[in-house]
Copies of this chain bind each other. A is one copy, B any other.
Amino acid sequence: MKQDLFQAIADPTRRAILTLIAIKALTPNAMAEKFDMTRQAVSKHIKVLHECELIKPEHSGREIYYHFNAKKMQEFDNWLAQFRQSWETQFNQLDKVLSTIKQQKI
B82 & A19 in contact (Cβ 8 Å cutoff): yes
Given known contacts A7-B10, A10-B7, A22-B86, A73 and B80 CB-to-CB distance under 8 angstroms: yes
Q: Is A32 an interface residue (CB 8 A)?
A: no
How many chain copies does the complex carry?
2
* Interface SS majority for chain A: helix
Are A70's CB and B87's CB within 8 A? Answer: yes
Instruction: Return the contact of A68 from the options B4, B15, B83 (Cβ within 8 A).
Output: B83
Contacts A6-B10, A7-B10 hold; do A80 and B80 have CB atoms under 8 A apart? Answer: yes
Q: How many angstroms between the C-alpha atoms of A15 and B29 in the bound complex?
A: 35
Task: Flag whether A102 is at the interface (Cβ < 8 A).
Answer: no
